[in-house]
Amino acid sequence: MSLSVLYDAPGPKARMRSRTISVVGVILIIGALILLVLAMGAPKASANGAIQPGLWDASRWDVFSDVQVWRSLGQGVLATLSMAGVAAAIALPLGVVFSFGRASDSAVVRVPSTVVLEFVRGMPVLLMMLFILLVFSTGSFWAGVAALAVYNGAIIGEALRAGIKSLPRGQREAGLAIGLTPISTRMRIEFPQAFRQMLPIIIAQLVVLLKDTSLAFVVGYSELLRVGVKNLPDFFGNRYAFSFFMVVLAIYLAMNLSLSWLARVIAHRTNPKAKAANPTPPNTPADPVLAMPTALGEQSRGGGSAP
């Protein structure tokens, strides 16, 4: 039964009813959307009596026939992706270092890294960007990269630590028993398993990182958001603001959704248990709550990525 144990398998009457409600629901939702679209498309009279064309009017969209606009947007996308790429490349090793520090046996290493991690995780990324920009006067690109790398490194570090902690204790004991040093036990036995287990969460965090590059807009970096919804409308005029917003939204959704989709594919492929035991995508194994069989059949996807 693909649905759920929460209600009986529907009989012909209930199926009929559910289909009716479903159709009515679809009609209501689509109707509301059509109304919204029509309301947005209707010409409006502004306060001084001038009539503005509706939001779908061709006069609001004609800029997109200009190649230069697409070139600027492309540069914005490249700027966003390069910031996200560099930040991710730094964040991953940083996360590994953080997780080793945090899971260390000696308090001299563990306590300071815990304090640093808590501090970084409790602080807004935006504040960190401003901080780095003002204190180190790095320029907006490196301020954004550094803040994103440190913040996401901390989150990834926590995820890896949770992964290490969730391993059966026998793994570490076995490593030590065959004569490996504590460090090489961690490197060669525990870490590879933790990393594999936490890969979905790590990739979900990389999606968050990609999204968060838009914060660099505030410290003045010309990425997709600044180019698309600030620079271009400033140049072409305010009446295009909405059109540019819709296009930028579509670009962001395309990037993030494809990355999320990739995350799901990788999560499915790398977890051998997922194939053997349950056909549903694997969940955050560190969280006993999510590792349980579920009451509703369907499982949450992508690990609970922090907003």
Partner 1 sequence: MDAITENLPVFIDGFRNTLGLLGLAGVGALVLGVIIAALRISPVSSFRGFATVYTEIVRNTPLTLVLFFCAFLLPYLQFSPGYFPLAVLGLTVYTSPFVAEALRAGVNGVHVGQAEAARSVGLTFGQSLTFVIMPQAIRMVIPPLINVFIALTKNTSVAGAFFVFELFGAARKVTNDRGDQVIAILLGVAAFYLLITITLGLIAGRVEKKVAVLR
Contact between 51 and partner 1 per CB under 8 A:
no
Q: How far is CA 107 from CA 8, 93, 99, 122, 189, in A?
A: 55, 22, 14, 22, 22
Contact between 15 and partner 1 per CB under 8 A:
no
Contact between 81 and partner 1 per CB under 8 A:
no
Contact between 245 and partner 1 per CB under 8 A:
yes
Contact between 3 and partner 1 per CB under 8 A:
yes
- Say how far apart CA 168 and CA 163 lie, in whole Å: 10
Among 306, 88, 93, 80, smallest CA distance to 201 is for 306
Closest to partner 1 by CB, 182 vs 304, is 304
Closest to partner 1 by CB, 121 vs 196, is 121
Stretch of residues binding partner 1 (CB under 8 A), selected from 140-148, 161-169, 175-183, 237-245: 237-245
Closest to partner 1 by CB, 134 vs 174, is 134
Contact between 108 and partner 1 per CB under 8 A:
no
Largest Cα separation within the chain, whole Å, is 84
Rounded to the nearest 10°, the torsion over CA 239, 243, 246, 251 is -120
Q: Which helix (H) or strand (E) holds 51?
A: strand 51-52
Closest to partner 1 by CB, 86 vs 218, is 218
Q: Using the rule CB under 8 A, which residue among 44, 71, 273, 275 binds partner 1?
A: 44
Contact between residue 85 and residue 91 where contact means Cβ atoms under 8 Å apart: no
Stretch of residues binding partner 1 (CB under 8 A), selected from 81-89, 100-108, 172-180, 255-263: 255-263
Q: How far is CA 32 from CA 38, 55, 198, 245, in A?
A: 10, 17, 40, 21
Give me the residue label for tokens 């901390």.
Answer: 154
Closest to partner 1 by CB, 86 vs 290, is 290
Rounded to the nearest 10°, the torsion over CA 5, 7, 9, 10 is -160
Contact between 180 and partner 1 per CB under 8 A:
no
Contact between residue 180 and residue 188 where contact means Cβ atoms under 8 Å apart: yes
Task: Please name the residue ranges forming H helices in 182-238.
Answer: 182-185, 191-212, 224-226, 232-236
Q: Using the rule CB under 8 A, which residue among 9, 36, 38, 257 binds partner 1?
A: 257
Q: How far is CA 263 from CA 198, 251, 258, 269, in A?
A: 11, 18, 9, 10
Contact between 49 and partner 1 per CB under 8 A:
no
Give the number of residues in contact with partner 1, rule: CB under 8 A.
Answer: 66
Give the 3-state secondary structure of residue 268. helix
What x-and-dash track marks residues 115-154 binding partner 1 by CB under 8 A?
---xx-xxxxxxx--xx--xx-------------------
Q: Using the rule CB under 8 A, which residue among 22, 59, 68, 181 binds partner 1?
A: 22
Residues in the site for partner 1, rule: CB under 8 A?
3-8, 18, 21-23, 25-26, 29, 40, 44, 46, 55, 118-119, 121-127, 130-131, 134-135, 207, 211-215, 217-218, 225, 229, 238, 241-242, 245, 248-249, 252-253, 256-257, 260, 288-290, 292-296, 298-300, 304-307
